[in-house]
Amino acid sequence: MGSPAARLVRRALEALKPFVPVAVKRRVLRVLPPRLYGLVDRDWHRRAVGGRWNELGRLQFEYLRSAGLRPEHYLLDVGCGSLRGGVHFIRFLEPGHYFGIDKNPARLEAGRSVELPRYGLEGKRPLLELVDDFNVARLGRSFDFALAQSVFTHLPLDLIELCIANVGAVLAPGGRFYATFYPRAPGDADVVDRSQLPFEKDPIYRYDPDALRSLGEEAGLAVEVVADWGHPRGQAMLVLTTR
């Protein structure tokens, strides 16, 4: 689409991309609006989440499957981004049973326009919604499983409280909400400033597990903390279950 000149520029950029170093692409991406990222680097969204795209995508899928996820279940993927884990869940679940929400329109669009066609998953009819306030009730259904992979790691405590309350309210009886977080050890700073990095400008938060446990219990959920579930960067897993 677009004018002949625009199509010519797009084709030229596509031809040049394989020869441009990633470091150069990152410098260019810092000054471009998100809607143009794909012109510079088709896979920018994979690099934006810090690497290990395939490893961490498979890890979250295998963990939920080992926890009992079945194809007929409905899954809510909170902060689904560009579908690093989503493509595995979408392939596994029955059509229309995957619901992904994210606040970043550029990453959500990359998942929709790049990753779904790449894996041939358009026919699985995933629902991908732009949601920036955790108002998941508007999706109009309950969920057997919910997941927030590397979401609480970027949220202050008041937004975690809001997320837990809203997601907990749409869990089916016996439904479970899995959320990863960085546990705070003695001597650790509460917040790690990442404002100088190319994509991850949000700070990283570390939490005492008991603080998150209290939020889950206040929302009327049973709470378990899994300290080691295999995450390569040491994130723990908070498991919240409807009573």
Residues 171 and 60 in one domain: yes
Residues 57 and 37 in one domain: no
CATH number at residue 206: 3.40.50.150
pLDDT at 100: 98
- Cα–Cα distance measured from residue 212 to residue 238, given in angstroms and rounded to the nearest whole number: 8
pLDDT in tens, the chain (243 residues): 455 655 555 555 555 556 556 566 555 555 555 555 555 577 888 888 877 899 999 999 999 999 999 999 999 999 999 999 999 999 999 999 999 999 999 999 999 999 999 999 999 999 999 999 999 999 999 999 999 999 999 999 999 999 999 999 999 999 999 999 999 977 676 776 554 444 456 788 999 999 999 999 999 999 999 999 999 999 999 999 998
Domain count of the chain? 2
Structural domain contains residue 48:
no
Joined tokens for residue 132: 């920036």
Nearest Cα residue to 105 out of 86, 80, 135: 80
Structural domain contains residue 203:
yes
Residues 103 and 71 in one domain: yes
Residues 18 and 129 in one domain: no
Nearest Cα residue to 85 out of 126, 123, 125: 126
Nearest Cα residue to 67 out of 239, 242, 243: 239
Residues 30 and 101 in one domain: no
Half-sphere exposure (CA, 13 Å, Cβ side) for 53?
Answer: 15
pLDDT at 185: 79
Residues 143 and 202 in one domain: yes
Residues 156 and 213 in one domain: yes
Residues 184 and 211 in one domain: yes
Residues 113 and 228 in one domain: yes
pLDDT at 30: 55
Residues 229 and 196 in one domain: yes
Domain span at 176: 53-242
Phi, psi of 168, deg, nearest 5:
-60, -35
Q: What is the pTM of this model?
A: 0.82
pLDDT at 1: 44
Phi, psi of 68, deg, nearest 5:
115, 5
Angle at the Cα of 231 from the Cα atoms of 173 and 44, rounded to 5 degrees: 100
Phi, psi of 239, deg, nearest 5:
-115, 115
